[in-house]
Chains A and B, each alone.
Chain A
């Protein structure tokens, strides 16, 4: 039997040696379909990790079930391929046990928003310091092409031959609604942007939620092509930058303005200038702007990508540890003998 892999790849203990992306590639053959958007996401994660200054043994990748959830096998870090939808709960246990670890959850639109929707919500609201990367391809790939909770209304798939009659969930809106402290979106093929968003997510303290628009070239090919395709994306994506006006377009000549309670697309020119546009504020306490941006969709609007929200809040594991330390300060370190003898006792001679 071959005894390759799973714990025996690369240079073992690193110490202060600077890691490279190769240090994070496991010896397992990557088995996504050729042309799948997952390859690009894997490459960007492997590119970002060495820059974080965290030793390799402190990374844990946790996933559920689905194509994206194969991800941990391809990372030469600690990894746990769990069960459908439950990765955020497993990750919570890991992080609460050892807050020193950099814990990543890899999930998909079916895993994270359908069967595991509940865990996603609650992990986000607790602000557990984990990085949740949701690969959204708007389809069930591993089970060979049924519609997903992010598939558009009317979508024809194997399970909806007459068109889906479910309205889709908006992943960012779900995350914002759950009170997530970091919410972002990027696109699989937009590698530079993806890498920068992933790095921001990794550096954020608290739950980070990143939706990656990911092409499934087998069952839902070109789902994002109309706005994220190489030739059109400059005109149809809105790159969010904190503190900057919402400008988009190849010529940087279009923008987003607030009209009453709605956002509207305007043409920049003599009448309307950048000073009339909404200034992006990812740090706003109230998530109103982030919500509005999350609901902009092609073709009426450009599709925003980047960081929608990044606010600070104590993390779950910090608060947990603080309660323990407070209890120890007040009651003293637990004494088992004393505990067993607590309450009403009596002695039999």
Chain B
């Protein structure tokens, strides 16, 4: 604290209690905003709040410094009660430069708090952000509470005695900002101090510099009279246990490692790099000591084909991609349909057809997953609802695939994949079992002689004596698996493949209704919209509205009780991050009138958007 002058006899700032706060850290992609956000998140978790986060970074790897496309941001929402989304609108915006202000200001809540690094607002940066006049001076920010702080120069001043180059000292400004935010929201700085020590273990001057900047930011909040209030968000009532923060992609990777451990067979993950699914490949590549084999294939098709080969040979064959990659894999998925092999295909969905908007989220591959292949091609489809749920649904995907000898498509999306939430780490005995049945007995073996209950064909892997047989993409004769062009056989096999997937419904949980089991309006969602939909329904139910919701994590087959639930409501509303795909399927399947509520902006739903839509529907 030696770098700050302590102001004496200063009135103590008031502490104001808040229930929920959403902060967005934003700056140039070189400003370390992801790191700052992550540190704030970890400290906040330690403080016992419920929380959710959402990073948003540029598609360009190195967009020009100070430019609008180069803005990187990280949003964290934390609360003293249970929350399910990273927040509709930030209450607080930290903007390190004009571009960050320009990009993020439209999202800020009316009257919100803005912390500005005034040093970033020079002419060059204003021009790069396409501001004609300085927004700090022209009244643009009149509706907000603005704190103008020369963060860069204060950081440099604090670090004047630390022996590091000027450039490096400048880069510590994010820790100054973080320190200030810690003071403002009454969080301890210890965890970050320790993290800095570990992170820069072999660079003592950087430990000193970053720690000094962090302390200086904290002291600045405490010592200046600029802030008359700081805030406290009390601990949330959270289920006891050990927690960690996970992104959906991390949880997905962990879930597949767990599936392999539960099944007692190695995981074989074949993938071609694609946004936003590559992190799953990066994560799994680190788990070699779990026997995980990762294969970066030459293309999307090779990736799924290698996974199919692995499944044929007895590993847990897995491939991962995003929408364009799923399109390329279609033909091979059908090979797995025909060969009846247990391959799992992860699709971390992204926005738009063709290349679309790769770093933005959408859930518009539902129809592709269900129907996007030649001929009648039934596969199982599952979709996790939250980042943490990715873990369980990954295990579930392999449980279904191996039990029914069927490909399973797992629909995550960019919002789930990159978003994070605290995850109560389950104990191993809470996890479902995966029991593999490899055929070894040659007596009475036929490659397409099915299990009577599941209709699964036997999994007979090469290397097993006496079970030599041939499979492939040509239609197979029932039982023997010989190539067959017999018309009745093709009809029968088509029925069997469909029936096999339909029977999975007997083996998945009924969907639970959130709210009353009957009433005026049922909101049906799937995948990553869980948080926004459930929060909106909860909000309106607290105000007496007759609205309930169900959230589907199984898209094919649907849970058995879904039809009955739909019939007990007068209206069915389907909010989706696509142009009405689930609405179409529900209408076709259950002959119910569905009201589609599409959003295709590359962004998740805000709770308020769903609240307004529900109110509108209820008023009609």
A residues near B, CB below 8 A?
1-9, 12-14, 26, 28, 55-60, 62-63, 65, 72-73, 75-83, 86, 89-98, 100-101, 118-119, 121-122, 320, 323-324, 326-328, 330-334, 336-337, 339-341, 343-349
- The answer for the CA separation of A5 and B308 in the assembled complex, in Å, is 24
Q: Check B428 against A345 for contact (C-beta < 8 Å).
A: no
25 contacts between A and B (CB under 8 A): A6-B469, A7-B446, A7-B467, A12-B442, A28-B482, A56-B465, A57-B465, A58-B463, A77-B468, A83-B332, A86-B301, A89-B301, A89-B305, A90-B306, A93-B306, A94-B462, A97-B313, A121-B298, A122-B302, A324-B293, A327-B289, A328-B291, A334-B261, A336-B290, A339-B290
Stretch at the interface among B97-105, B140-148, B239-247, B610-618: B239-247
Given contacts A97-B309, A346-B46, contact A336 B257 (CB under 8 A): yes
Nearest chain A residue, comparing its CB with the CB of B464: A57
A346 touches B242 (CB 8 A): yes
Give the distance in Å from the alpha carbon of A7 to the alpha carbon of B441 in the complex: 11
Name A28's closest neighbour in chain B (CB-CB).
Answer: B482
A sample of 13 more A-B contacts (CB under 8 A), given A7-B442, A334-B287, is A1-B477, A1-B480, A3-B479, A6-B482, A7-B445, A7-B468, A79-B469, A89-B306, A91-B309, A92-B302, A97-B314, A324-B292, A345-B425
Inter-subunit contact A339/B257 (CB<8 Å): yes
Nearest CB of chain B from residue A58's CB, rounded to whole Å: 6
Is the pair B470, A73 in contact by a Cβ cutoff of 8 Å?
yes
Min Cβ gap A31→B in Å is 9
Contact of A340 among B245, B425, B445, B460 (CB under 8 A): B425
In the complex, whether B483 has a CB less than 8 A from a CB of chain A is yes
Query: What mask results when residues 451 to 492 of chain B are scored 1 for a CB within 8 Å of chain A, else 0?
Result: 000000000111111111111111001111111000000000
What's the Cα separation between A121 and B289 when bound, in Å? 30
Q: How far apart are A66's CB and chain B's nearest CB, in angstroms?
A: 13
Contact (Cβ within 8 A) A341 B425: yes
* B471 partner, pick from A81, A96, A331, beta carbons under 8 A: A81
B297 within 8 A of A: yes
CA distance A318 to B468 in the complex (A): 25
Smallest distance from the beta carbon of A339 to chain B beta carbons, Å?
Answer: 7
Query: Which residues of chain B are within 8 angstroms of A344 by Cβ–Cβ distance?
Result: 42, 45, 244-245
**Does any Cβ of A come within 8 Å of B276's Cβ?**
no
How far is the CB of A335 from the nearest CB of chain B, in Å? 9
Which of A13, A89, A330, A333 is packed against the most chain B CB atoms within 10 Å? A89
| 6 closest residue pairs by CB, A with B | A93-B309, A81-B472, A334-B290, A89-B305, A93-B306, A327-B288
Chain B nearest Cβ from A86, distance in angstroms: 4
B215-274, CB < 8 A from A = 238-245, 254, 257-258, 261, 266, 268, 270
Q: In the assembled complex, which residues on chain B have CB atoms less than 8 Å from the CB atom of A83?
A: 305, 331-332, 335, 473
Check A94–B331 contact: CB distance below 8 A: no
Instruction: Give the CA-CA distance A1 to B291 in the complex, in Å.
Output: 43
- Is B324 engaged at the interface, CB distance under 8 Å to the other chain? no
Interface range for B? 35 or more
Pairwise interchain contact B308-A12, C-beta atoms closer than 8 A: no
* Chain A residues in 8 Å Cβ range of B240: 347-349
Q: Within 8 Å CB of B299, what residues of A? A: 118
Report if A119-B298 is in contact (Cβ < 8 Å); known contacts: A90-B308, A98-B313, A347-B243: yes
Q: Is the CB–CB distance between A345 and B463 below 8 Å?
A: no
- Closest-by-CB residue of B relative to A15 is B465
The winner among A3, A81, A90, A336 for most chain B CB atoms within 10 A is: A90
Q: Distance (Å) between the CB of B38 and the closest chain A CB?
A: 9
- Knowing A80-B471, A346-B45 touch, does A340 contact B463 (C-beta < 8 A)? no
Which residues of the other chain, B, contact A60 by a CB distance below 8 angstroms?
313, 462
Residues of B at under 8 Å CB distance from A?
42, 45-46, 48, 238-245, 254, 257-258, 261, 266, 268, 270, 287-293, 295, 297-299, 301-303, 305-315, 317, 331-332, 335, 339, 424-428, 442, 445-447, 460-474, 477-483
Q: Which residues of B contact A345 (CB under 8 A)?
A: 242-244, 425
Evaluate contact between A12 and B466: CB separation under 8 angstroms.
yes
Complex Cα gap A82–B466 (Å) = 22
Given A7-B445, A78-B470, A336-B261, does the pair A13, B465 have CB atoms closer than 8 Å? yes
Q: Which residues of A contact B478 (CB under 8 A)?
A: 1
Contact A1 B479 (CB under 8 A): yes
Known contacts: A60-B462, A81-B473, A91-B309. The answer to whether A348 contacts B241 by CB under 8 A is: yes
Q: A157 CA to B471 CA in the complex, in Å? A: 33
What's the Cα separation between A92 and B257 when bound, in Å? 21
The number of inter-chain residue pairs (CB within 8 angstroms) is: 244
CA distance A235 to B312 in the complex (A): 47
Partner of B463, one of A2, A79, A98, A330: A98
B305 near A86: Cβ-Cβ < 8 Å: yes
CA distance A83 to B308 in the complex (A): 11
CB neighbours of A91 from chain B (8 A) = 309
Given the known inter-chain contacts A336-B428, A346-B242, please indicate yes or no for A92 contacting B289, CB distance below 8 A. no
A-side contacts of B45, CB under 8 Å: 344, 346
CB proximity of A174 to chain B, nearest CB, Å: 15
- Provide the bound-state CA to CA distance between A119 and B298, in Å: 7
Given A332-B289, A336-B261, A346-B45, does the pair A90, B425 have CB atoms closer than 8 Å?
A: no
Which residue in chain A gives the minimum CB-CB distance to B303? A89
Cα–Cα, bound, A15→B268 (Å): 30
Q: Report the Cα distance A81→B254, complex, angstroms.
A: 33
Which residue of B290, B310, B442 is within 8 Å of A93 (Cβ)? B310
* In the complex, chain A residues whose CB is within 8 Å of the CB of B442: 7, 12-13
Report how far A82 CA is from B309 CA in the complex, Å. Answer: 10
Chain A residue, CB-CB nearest to B195:
A344
Are B302 and A118 in contact, CB atoms less than 8 angstroms apart?
Answer: yes
Residues of A within 8 A of B424 (CB): 348
C-alpha gap A79/B468 in the complex (Å): 8
The answer to whether A5 and B482 touch across the interface, beta carbons within 8 angstroms, is yes
For the complex, give the distance between the alpha carbons of A90 and B428 in Å. Answer: 33
Smallest Cβ distance from B143 to chain A, in angstroms?
37
Is B306 a contact partner of A12 (Cβ separation < 8 A)? no
CB distance from B37 to the nearest CB of A (A): 14
Query: Which of B242, B254, B270, B462 touches A98 (beta carbons < 8 Å)?
Result: B462
Whether the Cβ atoms of A90 and B309 lie closer than 8 Å is: yes
Tell whether, in the assembled complex, residue B309 and residue A334 are in contact, meaning their CB atoms are under 8 Å apart.
Answer: no
Residues B483 and A55 in contact, CB atoms below 8 Å apart: no
A137 to B401: give the CA distance in the assembly, Å.
40
**Closest CB-CB distance, B102 to chain A, in whole Å?**
33
Which of B258, B315, B332, B462 interacts with A86 by CB under 8 Å?
Answer: B332
| Residue among B243, B466, B481 with the highest chain A CB neighbour number at 10 A | B466
- Which residues of A sit under 8 angstroms from B48, Cβ to Cβ? 348
Residues from chain B with a CB closer than 8 A to the CB of A326 are 288
Give CA–CA (A73, B468) in the complex, Å.
Answer: 11
Across the interface, name the chain B residue whose C-beta is closest to A5: B482
A73 contacts across to B, CB distance below 8 A = 470, 472, 483
Contact between A80 and B243, CB atoms less than 8 A apart:
no
Chain B positions within 8 Å of A101 at CB level: 313, 462-463
Q: Give the distance in Å from the alpha carbon of A13 to the alpha carbon of B312 in the complex.
A: 21
Q: CB distance B479 to A76 under 8 Å?
A: no
Contacting residues, chain A, for B331 (C-beta < 8 A): 83
CA distance A348 to B3 in the complex (A): 36
Is A76 a contact partner of B287 (Cβ separation < 8 A)? Answer: no
In the complex, what distance in Å separates the CA atom of A305 from the CA atom of B301? 33
